[in-house]
Amino acid sequence: MSDIPLSPIQRVLRRLPGRRTKGRVAGPPLIPLVILVAFVLAAVFAEWVSPGEPYRQALRAGFRPPVWLDAGTWSNLLGTDRLGRDLLTRIIYGARVSLTAGVITVLVATAVGVAVGLVAAYFRGRVDAVLMQLTDATLSIPIILLALILAVTVGPSFGNVVLAIAAILWARYARVIRGEALSLMERDFIALARVAGCSPARIIAVHLFPNILNTVVVLFTLQVGDVIIVEAALSFLGAGIPPPTPAWGSMVADGREFITTAWWVSFFPGLAILMVVLSFNLLGDWLRDRLDPKLRQI
């Protein structure tokens, strides 16, 4: 449609279900699903599927290029890093770190955020004002900065990364869930539950919560990818999961100094991040279109 306005008939035609169902609202995106399943399986069975051991160094085999380049060998498909550790093996073990960090963090943040959002929407008034003020304040702290403070004061660790990200991420859920729950509170079934003498806890748990589950699922999928990127960025900065644990972010950092001579050391771990995050985002987009189209803007 260029400069000519659509005729009424064209507009009606555009609304016919046949044209809408093709494209994004069809079945689940297959390639992202396959990629995610592959990474999850690799992470779970890392001991069996990886060709080598993640910590074994072979200093004389350092900076070996991937197999398809000159001087590459079949024993190190994606090459080796400075210390001669097999990159493919470390990427597989890194999947374990990234995926667990992502999922645990988002689980914690979801639990807190949903609770805060529902309580704020249910009680309104002063409780709502205080909780939302807290939410606003939390949202104004960049996650990376809080993680930096924790890294400097107590030292970097897996637990601190999860804590730092979850301590801020919950606020994003709280906002959205509160909005959702506020409109639910206007509905008749909540009033009826009240008349029937349900306690606030029961109304929140039995009547509100199940009705926001779709939103929770969509947010969860969309945020795991985000969290994986933040964790990787922290590890890259040296404020995340400390070496020698194979984390994708610190692996990219390891290769940064040698990027011109041994590009593969930085390239492949980053590619792994990209593939996993992209898959989560595509899957999340699909879920959102399916379950909760109102969330378009997140």
Among the listed residues 81, 66, 107, 114, the one whose alpha carbon sits nearest the alpha carbon of residue 211:
114
Peptide bond into 200 cis (omega under 30): no
Cβ nearer to another protein, comparing 29 with 198: 29
Query: Position of tokens 């995610």?
Result: 36
What the block records as the tokens of 228 is 């994986």
Classify residue 90 as left (phi > 0), alpha (psi -120 to 50) or beta.
alpha
What's the distance, CA 56 to chain centroid? 30
139-168 residues near another protein, rule: CB under 8 A: 139-146, 148-154
229 near another protein, rule: CB under 8 A: yes
Cβ nearer to another protein, comparing 60 with 296: 296
Q: State the minimum distance, in angstroms, from the CB of residue 12 to another protein.
A: 13
The site for another protein, by CB under 8 A, has a size of: 54
| Residue 258-277 contact track with another protein, rule CB under 8 A, x = bound | -xx--x--xx--x--xx--x
282 near another protein, rule: CB under 8 A: yes
Let me know: does 184 contact 193? Beta carbons within 8 Å.
no
Q: State the minimum distance, in angstroms, from the CB of residue 51 to another protein.
A: 24
Residue 243's SS3 state is coil
112 near another protein, rule: CB under 8 A: no
Catalog residues that contact another protein under the rule CB under 8 A.
1-6, 23, 133-134, 136-137, 139-146, 148-154, 225, 229, 232-233, 236-239, 249, 252-253, 255-256, 259-260, 263, 266-267, 270, 273-274, 277-278, 281-282, 285, 296-297
